[in-house]
């Protein structure tokens, strides 16, 4: 700008000098005419360049900056440099904005940008998934018109966003969301949503687990405590009363011991690595052991049979497999009335081998079958506790089966009995011919 002014002043000075020359060496009239001609020329020159500038301003791009003469050349070159610098800044800003948008698109949390009236300006795909929104249709709409839960409306109106809102949302699927609003840019808000469904489920399981363990331990502890108080209040030992109380106390003690052992087994299965496939399990020996255990538990009250249709061995952990199979056997005996039948089977089918336990017991309603492997889940709590179960047996079976890449199948009808099958794939089969006997 300084250079432009200097050149204009130079032109004016030159015009005055030329006019003064005509004034001194010719006449005053010639001087005025010369001055008018010079000023008119200068005016035409500048109007021409102003016209070029106005035309360029309609579409101001660096490539279309006009060429100028004299001071206008300096002006146009300055404009060219400024437009070029602005274009570079725009490209950088666009690149940064694209990276920001790409980062927002890839975020595992939902992101919604709201204006000062809580209208949606932008949202990412995860927010669409969380709230069932439409990225094209819902831009510009009020968020409160799209999310109608009363707790969310109260959260927005309270204007206190220091703590997140836990919201159970059922569209398009049932999820639990943690929602946090972050004010920014003086008027706008950033709403973040995170899917905490799994975390909520874990916390629920943890709460239920603590409550169930406390409940299972409270009863035997109360019984033992009551007996001990009675014995403590007795002035003289009564042998008959002791013979009555001690077996009951021992039974409750065994019940607590069984519960603790099952809890430790379940904890080990959940927290230790999967078993190595280097151990070959002699299924013939294990089945014979299970048969002896079943007859001992039944004490002649049931007819127990064993059918081996294959001599196939397994890759896996003998300890874990015995724990799972013995739980299935003890459940069958526990829930089968006296005189019923218990059938153990080990058979080979195309591409798989199957261990199964069938009984003619009370059966299980179909709606309960999907939840049978949950910890402490009982179809009939009173009957299960009376039969001596801890509620952890099938949970142990589920973990053992999963660690051996097998599958648990349950078939049952009320009053028709039940069949529990553990299905192993061909990759778990171990050729018994290639295995050395224990004595070698």
Instruction: Give the tens place of pLDDT for each residue, 36-87.
Output: 666 666 667 667 777 777 776 777 776 666 777 666 777 777 777 777 777 7
Residue labelled with tokens 């809890």: 263
Residue 376, sorted as left (phi over 0), alpha (psi -120 to 50) or beta, turns out to be left
Residue 191 and residue 179 in contact, taking contact as beta carbons nearer than 8 Å: yes
Residue 414 lies in a domain: yes
E-strand stretches of 140-228: 165-169, 175-184, 188-195
pLDDT tens digits, 385-418? 555 567 788 988 998 999 899 999 999 999 889 9
> CB neighbours of 227 closer than 8 A, spacing ≥ 6?
245, 248, 249
Range of the domain at 316: 280-434
Same domain, 290 and 430: yes
Using the 3D structure, point to which of 101, 136, 161 is the last residue of a domain.
101
pLDDT tens digits, 325-349? 999 999 999 899 999 999 999 999 8
66 or 292, which is more confident = 292
Q: Which residues of 67-106 are buried (b: 16+ CB within 10 A; e: fewer)?
A: ebeebbbbbbeebbeebeeeeeeeeeeeeeeeeeeeebee
Same domain, 85 and 48: yes
**Percentages (nearest 5) of helix, strand, coil residues in the chain:** 55, 20, 25
Residue 57 and residue 60: Cα distance in Å, rounded?
A: 5
Residue labelled with tokens 């496939």: 277
Residue 304 and residue 294 in contact, taking contact as beta carbons nearer than 8 Å: yes
pLDDT tens digits, 88-124? 888 887 777 788 777 778 888 999 999 988 999 989 9
Residue 439 lies in a domain: no
Same domain, 232 and 338: no
Report the Cα–Cα distance between both ends of the chain, in Å, rounded: 103
Q: How many helices (H) and strands (E) does the chain have?
A: 12, 13
Query: What CATH number does the domain containing 222 carry?
Result: 1.10.287.130
Burial of 140 (0-12, 13-18, 19+ CB in 10 A): exposed
Using the 3D structure, point to which of 56, 82, 101 is the last residue of a domain.
101
Asked if omega into 224 is within 30° of 0 (cis), the reply is no
Cα-Cα-Cα-Cα dihedral sign, residues 390, 391, 394, 397: negative
The answer to whether residue 422 scores a pLDDT higher than 90 is yes
Residue 419 lies in a domain: yes
Residue 231 and residue 283: Cα distance in Å, rounded?
A: 49
Residue 186 lies in a domain: yes
Residue 275 lies in a domain: no
Same domain, 325 and 428: yes
Same domain, 370 and 347: yes
Residue 440 lies in a domain: no
Same domain, 189 and 228: no
Question: Among 401, 422, 416, 434, which residue's Cα sits nearest to residue 344?
Answer: 422
Query: What CATH number does the domain containing 137 carry?
Result: 3.30.450.20
pLDDT of residue 439: 34
Same domain, 40 and 82: yes
Same domain, 213 and 191: no
Same domain, 322 and 407: yes
Same domain, 338 and 428: yes
pLDDT of residue 222: 78
Residue 274 lies in a domain: no
Residue 84 lies in a domain: yes
Residue 350 and residue 393 in contact, taking contact as beta carbons nearer than 8 Å: no
Same domain, 180 and 155: yes
Rg (CA), the chain: 44
Query: What CATH number does the domain containing 341 carry?
Result: 3.30.565.10
Residue 400 and residue 274: Cα distance in Å, rounded?
A: 9
87 or 167, which is more confident = 167
* Displacement of CA 160 from its chain's centroid (Å): 27
Using the 3D structure, point to which of 101, 126, 141 is the last residue of a domain.
101
The dihedrals phi and psi of 426, each to the nearest 5 degrees, come to -60, -30
pLDDT of residue 19: 58
pLDDT of residue 440: 31
How many domains is the chain partitioned into structurally?
Answer: 4
The overall pTM is greater than 0.85: no
Same domain, 420 and 285: yes
């Amino acid at each position: 700008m300084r250079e432009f002014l200097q050149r204009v002043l130079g032109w004016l000075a030159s015009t005055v000098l030329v006019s003064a020359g005509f004034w001194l060496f010719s006449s005053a009239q010639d001087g005025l005419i010369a001055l008018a001609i010079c000023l008119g020329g200068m005016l035409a020159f500048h109007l021409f360049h102003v016209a070029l500038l106005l035309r360029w301003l309609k579409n101001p791009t660096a490539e279309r900056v006009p060429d100028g003469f004299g001071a206008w050349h300096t002006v146009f070159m300055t404009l060219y440099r400024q437009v070029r610098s602005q274009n570079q800044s725009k490209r950088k800003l666009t690149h940064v904005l694209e990276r920001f948008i790409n980062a927002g698109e890839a975020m595992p949390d939902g992101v919604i940008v709201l204006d000062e009236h809580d209208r949606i300006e932008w949202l990412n795909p995860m927010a669409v998934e969380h709230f069932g929104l439409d990225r094209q249709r819902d831009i510009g709409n009020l968020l409160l018109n799209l999310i109608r839960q009363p707790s969310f409306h109260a959260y927005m109106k309270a204007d206190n966003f220091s703590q997140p809102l836990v919201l159970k949302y059922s569209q398009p699927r049932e999820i639990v969301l943690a929602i946090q609003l972050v004010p920014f840019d003086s008027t706008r808000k950033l709403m973040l949503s995170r899917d905490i469904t799994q975390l909520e489920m874990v916390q629920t399981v943890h709460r239920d687990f603590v409550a169930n363990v406390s409940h299972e331990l409270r009863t035997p502890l109360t019984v033992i405590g009551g007996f001990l108080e009675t014995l403590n209040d007795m002035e003289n030992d009564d042998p008959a009363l002791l013979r009555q109380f001690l077996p009951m106390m021992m039974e409750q003690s065994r019940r607590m011991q069984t519960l603790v052992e099952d809890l430790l087994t379940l904890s080990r299965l959940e927290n230790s690595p999967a078993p190595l496939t280097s151990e070959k399990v002699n299924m013939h020996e294990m089945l014979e052991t299970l048969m002896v255990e079943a007859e001992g538990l039944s004490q002649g009250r049931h007819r127990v049979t064993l059918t081996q249709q294959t001599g196939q061995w397994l890759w896996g952990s003998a300890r874990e497999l015995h724990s799972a199979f013995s739980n299935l056997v003890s459940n069958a005996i526990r829930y089968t009335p006296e005189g019923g039948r218990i059938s153990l089977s080990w058979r080979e089918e195309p591409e798989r081998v199957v261990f199964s336990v069938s009984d003619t017991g009370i059966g299980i309603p179909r709606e309960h079958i999907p939840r049978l492997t949950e910890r402490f889940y009982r179809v009939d709590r009173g009957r299960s506790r009376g039969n001596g179960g801890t509620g952890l047996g099938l949970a142990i079976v589920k973990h053992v089966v999963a660690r051996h890449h097998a599958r648990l199948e349950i078939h049952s009808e009320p009053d028709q009995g039940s069949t529990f099958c553990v299905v192993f794939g061909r990759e778990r089969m171990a050729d018994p011919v290639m295995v050395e006997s224990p004595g070698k």
